[in-house]
Amino acid sequence: MTANPGDEATPPTGRILRVACFGDVVGRPGILVLERRLREVREAFRLDFVIANAENAEDGSGVTPAIATKLLAAGVDVMTSGDHIPRRRAVFPILAKRDRLLRPANYPPEFPGGGVTVVDAGEGDDAVPIAVVNVLGRLFMNTTLDCPFRAVDGALAECADRARVILVDVHAEATSEKVALGWHLDGRVSAVFGTHTHVPTADERILPRGTAYVTDIGMTGPHHSVIGRKIEPVLRKMITQVPERFVVATDDARATGAIFSIDSGTGRAVAVHRIQVALEGPLPTLPEPLEPSAPAAADESSAPSAVEEAPAVPAAGEKS
């Protein structure tokens, strides 16, 4: 777990929201682990909002209307996607609604749907608007899409004045591109998390201006596999170079992701924690609270000035 080093000097100004983000849902095993465990996870960790990347939910490639409905019923609030979203045209009408299922913001404007949505966490007077943004990387992705840096800037302008809590899914292959986007967005959004590689990284942190960052949050699917596919066909292809059909594996289903604790008043992250939930067995325990303890007396010499002086994360489109 990583907590904001400036927490002691900067007490929260709003309530702490807990947002869980789960990596690429791969096939039936990924859907099943969310259907069986997500409600329990939401209650155990007092989650306010859940994001899942549905990029590989339909047999490892794309998502269908039926699967989108299942994921929402399981407790997912917003689904993001990536380079496989064009594979299932039946889902285009759901994308066109621009609410619960996103496609990357740097797809052409003619492509159905959008790359940003704003959805309330909670109801009534307790409701807090949360913006979710989805962009696709270009390095090693065999794509000629628009620049993800400019696309994310445009997406933030699109949700201007609508949300202070903003999370960005960067669906990309290259770690360097994800890290660069994290720095590009530091202080402008609440959290940046990467998807696509299906392998979680251990670099969770909070950047100097209050944005939580993880290069990749991993995979929600069968972990006894090669990134979600049966092991034997992948080995044969790699060793012999003879084409094989890569079938979704079935064993050891787990949901892997991260929980971000975010100050709803400032939009700044105060903690980030990686999480992995198996299909069976007890839930993981967290080594530290999901939010900082009550602020201690400020020690001006102990916290880096760059953190102490960091402003609140502005609402999207607002000048910092």
Q: What is the pLDDT of residues 114-128, one digit of tens each?
A: 999 999 999 888 899
The pLDDT of residue 289 is above 60: no
- What's the rounded mean pLDDT across residues 131-140? 95
Instruction: Tell me the CA distances in angstroms from 36 to 64, 196, 201, 204, 307, one per residue in order.
Output: 20, 23, 25, 27, 40
> Residue range 77-91: average pLDDT?
90
Mean pLDDT of 175-198: 97
* pLDDT band for position 292 (cuts 50, 70, 90): low
Contacts of 185 (CB under 8 A, 6+ apart): 152, 168, 192, 211
pLDDT at 294 (0 to 100):
42
- Give the span between the Cα atoms of 235 and 126, in whole angstroms: 52
The CATH homologous superfamily for domain 2-7+15-295 is Metallo-dependent phosphatases (3.60.21.10)
Give yes or no for residue 157 having a pLDDT over 70: yes
Percent of the chain scored above 90 by pLDDT?
A: 72
Q: Where are the alpha helices (DSSP H) in 186-304?
A: 231-240
Residues of the chain by 3-state class (helix, strand, coil), percent to 5: 25, 25, 50
**Is the predicted pLDDT of residue 81 greater than 70, yes or no?**
yes
How far is the C-alpha of 276 from the C-alpha of 254, rounded, in Å? Answer: 7
AA letter at 153: D
Q: Is 25 helix (H, G, I), strand (E, B) or coil?
A: strand
Residues 6 or more apart in contact with residue 268 via CB below 8 angstroms: 4, 10, 190, 210, 211, 262, 310, 312, 313
Q: Which helix (H) or strand (E) holds 277?
A: strand 269-278
Query: What's the pLDDT band for 216 if we cut at 50, 70, 90?
Result: very high
Counting residues of the chain whose pLDDT is more than 70, the rounded percentage is 86
Write down the domain spans for the chain: 2-7+15-295
Return d(Cα 63, Cα 65) in angstroms, integer: 7
CA distances from 276 to 34, 70, 157 (A): 12, 21, 33
Q: What is the pLDDT of residues 187-201, one digit of tens each?
A: 999 999 999 999 999
Which structure tokens are listed for 36?
Answer: 């069986």
Residue 295: what pLDDT? 39
At 273 the pLDDT is: 95
Q: Which of 43-52, 97-106, 295-304 has the lowest mean pLDDT?
A: 295-304
Q: What is the pLDDT of residues 305-317, one digit of tens each?
A: 333 334 455 555 4
For residue 232, how many other CB atoms are within 10 A of its CB? 12
pLDDT at 296 over 80: no
pLDDT for 131: 98
Whole-Å CA distances, 81 to 20, 53, 55, 65, 84: 16, 5, 4, 14, 7
Does the annotation count 84 as an active-site position?
yes
Average pLDDT rounded to a whole number, residues 14-39: 95
- Over range 266-273, report the average pLDDT: 95
Higher-pLDDT residue of 223, 315 = 223
Residue 69 has pLDDT above 60, yes or no: yes
- pTM beyond 0.75, yes or no: yes
How far is residue 1's CA from residue 287's CA, in Å, rounded to a whole number?
7
Q: Which strand (E) or helix (H) includes residue 182? A: helix 175-185
Question: 15-19, 79-83, 123-127, 298-302 — which is least confidently predicted?
Answer: 298-302
Q: Which DSSP symbol is given to 312?
A: P
Q: What is the pLDDT of residue 86?
A: 81
